[in-house]
A and B are shown apart, each in its own frame.
Chain A
Amino acid sequence: MARGELTTRLRALLGTAAPIETTPDGVPRVAPRTTAECALLLRTASADGWRVRVTGAETWTPPDAPADLFLTTRALRGAGLVSAADLVATAETGVPLDTLRRAFADHGAWLALDAPGAPGRSLGSLLATATAGPLRAGFGLLRDQVLGLTLVTGDGRVVTVGGRVVKDVAGYDLAKLAVGSFGAFGVVTTVHLRLRAIPRADQTLVGTGRRDAVLDVARAILAGGLTPAALELMSPAAARTDAWTVAIRLVGTGDEVAADRAAVQQASPIPLVERTGADAAAFWQEMLDGGTAAPVTLRAGALPTGLEDALDLVALHLDEAVRDWLTVTVPAGTLRWSGAAGPDALIRFRDAAAAREWPVTIERAPWGTCLRLGHFGAYREGVHRLVTGLRSAFDPAGILVAPLSGNP
Chain B
Amino acid sequence: MSALPHALDAVSGIVGPRWVRRRRAERETYASDGLPTLHALPAAVVLPASREEVVRVIRVLAHHGVPFVPRGAGTGLSGGALADPDAILLVLTRLDRILAIEPDDRRAVVEPGVVNARLSRAALPYGLQYAPDPSSQAACTIGGNVAENAGGPHCLKYGVTTNHILELDVVLPDGTEVVLGSPGGEAWGPDLVGLFVGSEGTFGVATAITVRLVPLAPAVRTLLADFDALRPAGEAVSAIIASGVVPAALEMMDRNCIRAVEASIYRAGYPTDAAAVLLVELDGRTDAAVADTAREVEQLLRAAGARQVAVAREARERERLWQGRKKAFGALGRLSPDLIVQDAVVPRTALPDVLEAIDAIGQRLGLTVSNVFHAGDGNLHPNITFDRRDAAERARVEQAAAEIMEVCLAAGGTITGEHGVGRDKLRYMPAMFDATTLGAMRDVRRAFDRAERANPGKVIPVHACREWRTGGWADGRSSDSTASPSAHPPTRPPAGAVSVEGGT
Q: Is B100 an interface residue (CB 8 A)?
A: no
Q: Is B379 an interface residue (CB 8 A)?
A: yes
Chain B residue with the shortest CB-CB distance to A67: B500
Report chain A residues within 8 Å CB of B323. Answer: none
- Which residue of B163, B440, B482 is within 8 Å of A40 (Cβ)? B482
Q: Is B82 an interface residue (CB 8 A)?
A: no
Contact of A225 with B127 at beta-carbon distance under 8 Å, contacts A167-B418, A331-B106 already known: yes
* CB atoms of B184 and A379 under 8 A apart: no
Interchain CA distance A21-B172 in the complex, whole Å: 46
Contact of A88 with B347 at beta-carbon distance under 8 Å, contacts A169-B198, A222-B106, A305-B104 already known: yes
Q: Is A155 an interface residue (CB 8 A)?
A: yes
Report chain A residues within 8 Å CB of B348. Answer: 85-86, 166
Contact of A170 with B484 at beta-carbon distance under 8 Å, contacts A83-B347, A399-B500 already known: no
Interchain CA distance A46-B429 in the complex, whole Å: 29
* CB atoms of A401 and B501 under 8 A apart: yes
* CB atoms of B345 and A157 under 8 A apart: no
Q: Is B34 an interface residue (CB 8 A)?
A: no
* CB atoms of A176 and B194 under 8 A apart: yes
Q: Interface with B: A117-125, A193-201, A284-292, which one?
A: A193-201
Chain B, range 448-504, C-beta contacts under 8 Å to A:
448, 459-460, 468, 480-482, 484-486, 488-493, 497-504
Interchain CA distance A354-B385 in the complex, whole Å: 54
Contact of A383 with B414 at beta-carbon distance under 8 Å, contacts A86-B349, A331-B106, A371-B501 already known: no
Interchain CA distance A169-B192 in the complex, whole Å: 16
Report chain B residues within 8 Å CB of A66. Answer: 500
Chain B residue with the shortest CB-CB distance to A86: B347
* CB atoms of A301 and B484 under 8 A apart: no
- Which residue of A40, A180, A252, A402 is within 8 Å of B484 (Cβ)? A40
Chain A, range 317-350, C-beta contacts under 8 Å to B:
331-334
Q: Interface with B: A98-106, A234-242, A274-282, A355-363, which one?
A: A355-363
Q: Is B125 an interface residue (CB 8 A)?
A: no
Interchain CA distance A300-B214 in the complex, whole Å: 22
* CB atoms of A225 and B218 under 8 A apart: yes
Chain A, range 154-203, C-beta contacts under 8 Å to B:
155-161, 163-174, 176-177, 179-181, 184-185, 196-200
Distance in Å from the Cβ of B455 to the closest Cβ of chain A? 13
Q: Is A211 an interface residue (CB 8 A)?
A: no
Chain A residue with the shortest CB-CB distance to B218: A225
Interface residues of chain B: helix, strand, loop or mixed (majority): loop
* CB atoms of A303 and B151 under 8 A apart: no
Report chain A residues within 8 Å CB of B246. Answer: 196, 252
Chain B residue with the shortest CB-CB distance to A48: B488
* CB atoms of B178 and A386 under 8 A apart: yes
Q: Interface with B: A56-64, A72-80, A254-262, which one?
A: A254-262
Chain B residue with the shortest CB-CB distance to A36: B482
Interchain CA distance A364-B128 in the complex, whole Å: 37
- Which residue of B107, B187, B480 is within 8 Å of A130 (Cβ)? B187
Interchain CA distance A153-B459 in the complex, whole Å: 21
Interface 1/0 per residue, B183-194 and A, CB below 8 Å: 111111111111
- Which residue of B188, B288, B425, B499 is within 8 Å of A379 (Cβ)? B188
Report chain B residues within 8 Å CB of A169. Answer: 148-149, 198, 416-421
Distance in Å from the Cβ of B284 to the closest Cβ of chain A? 5
Q: Is B85 an interface residue (CB 8 A)?
A: no
Contact of A172 with B441 at beta-carbon distance under 8 Å, contacts A13-B485, A358-B184, A380-B188 already known: yes
Q: Is B24 an interface residue (CB 8 A)?
A: no
Q: Is B395 an interface residue (CB 8 A)?
A: no
* CB atoms of A163 and B289 under 8 A apart: no
- Which residue of A35, A43, A388 is within 8 Å of B504 (Cβ)? A388
Q: How many residues of B contact A (CB 8 A)?
A: 116
Q: Is B446 an interface residue (CB 8 A)?
A: yes
Chain B residue with the shortest CB-CB distance to A393: B443
Interchain CA distance A181-B504 in the complex, whole Å: 10
Interchain CA distance A40-B187 in the complex, whole Å: 31
Q: Is B265 an interface residue (CB 8 A)?
A: no
* CB atoms of B191 and A143 under 8 A apart: yes
Contact of A171 with B459 at beta-carbon distance under 8 Å, contacts A379-B189, A393-B440 already known: yes
* CB atoms of B416 and A303 under 8 A apart: no
- Which residue of B176, B245, B493 is within 8 Å of A398 (Cβ)? B493
Distance in Å from the Cβ of B147 to the closest Cβ of chain A? 10
Q: Is A405 an interface residue (CB 8 A)?
A: yes
Chain A residue with the shortest CB-CB distance to B502: A407
Interchain CA distance A126-B68 in the complex, whole Å: 39
Chain B, range 385-431, C-beta contacts under 8 Å to A:
412-421, 425, 429
Q: Is B180 an interface residue (CB 8 A)?
A: yes
Q: Is A309 an interface residue (CB 8 A)?
A: no
Interface 1/0 per residue, B325-343 and A, CB below 8 Å: 0000000000000000000
* CB atoms of A51 and B500 under 8 A apart: yes
Contact of A44 with B503 at beta-carbon distance under 8 Å, contacts A169-B148, A263-B285 already known: no
Distance in Å from the Cβ of B113 to the closest Cβ of chain A? 21
Interchain CA distance A255-B418 in the complex, whole Å: 33
Q: Interface with A: B12-20, B35-43, B236-244, B308-316, which one?
A: B236-244
Interchain CA distance A185-B501 in the complex, whole Å: 15
Report chain A residues within 8 Å CB of B438. Answer: 171
Distance in Å from the Cβ of A60 to the closest Cβ of chain B? 18
* CB atoms of A155 and B421 under 8 A apart: no
Interchain CA distance A43-B444 in the complex, whole Å: 19
Q: Is A299 an interface residue (CB 8 A)?
A: yes
Q: Is A396 an interface residue (CB 8 A)?
A: yes
* CB atoms of B190 and A180 under 8 A apart: yes
Q: Is B3 an interface residue (CB 8 A)?
A: no
* CB atoms of A84 and B190 under 8 A apart: no
Contact of A358 with B191 at beta-carbon distance under 8 Å, contacts A48-B488, A168-B417 already known: no
Distance in Å from the Cβ of B374 to the closest Cβ of chain A? 8
* CB atoms of A170 and B429 under 8 A apart: yes
* CB atoms of A165 and B434 under 8 A apart: no
Q: Is A25 an interface residue (CB 8 A)?
A: no
Interchain CA distance A83-B504 in the complex, whole Å: 38
Interchain CA distance A344-B425 in the complex, whole Å: 52
* CB atoms of A172 and B293 under 8 A apart: no
Contact of A44 with B187 at beta-carbon distance under 8 Å, contacts A167-B378, A256-B289, A358-B182 already known: no
Distance in Å from the Cβ of A32 to the closest Cβ of chain B? 11
* CB atoms of A170 and B105 under 8 A apart: no
* CB atoms of A256 and B414 under 8 A apart: no
Interface centre among A168, A258, A387 (most CB of B within 10 A): A168
* CB atoms of B194 and A173 under 8 A apart: yes
Contact of A332 with B185 at beta-carbon distance under 8 Å, contacts A165-B417, A166-B377, A170-B414 already known: yes
Interface 1/0 per residue, A96-139 and B, CB below 8 Å: 00000000000010000000000000000000001000000000
Interface centre among B107, B190, B348, B432 (most CB of A within 10 A): B190
Chain B residue with the shortest CB-CB distance to A200: B244
Interchain CA distance A130-B188 in the complex, whole Å: 12
Interface centre among A169, A255, A263 (most CB of B within 10 A): A169
Distance in Å from the Cβ of B476 to the closest Cβ of chain A? 16
Report chain A residues within 8 Å CB of B468. Answer: 155, 157, 396
* CB atoms of B241 and A225 under 8 A apart: no
Interchain CA distance A407-B498 in the complex, whole Å: 13
Distance in Å from the Cβ of A177 to the closest Cβ of chain B? 5
Report chain B residues within 8 Å CB of A302. Answer: 184
**CB-CB nearest 4 A-B residue pairs:** A301-B186, A176-B194, A389-B447, A197-B244
Known contacts A86-B348, A156-B490, A256-B284, then 4 further A-B pairs from the complex at CB < 8 Å, ordered by chain A residue: A48-B488, A169-B416, A359-B182, A396-B492
A binding-site residues for B, Cβ under 8 Å = 13, 35-36, 39-40, 43-44, 46-48, 51, 66, 83-88, 108, 130, 140, 143-144, 153, 155-161, 163-174, 176-177, 179-181, 184-185, 196-200, 219, 222-223, 225-227, 252-253, 255-256, 258-260, 262-263, 299-306, 331-334, 357-359, 361, 371, 374, 376, 379-407
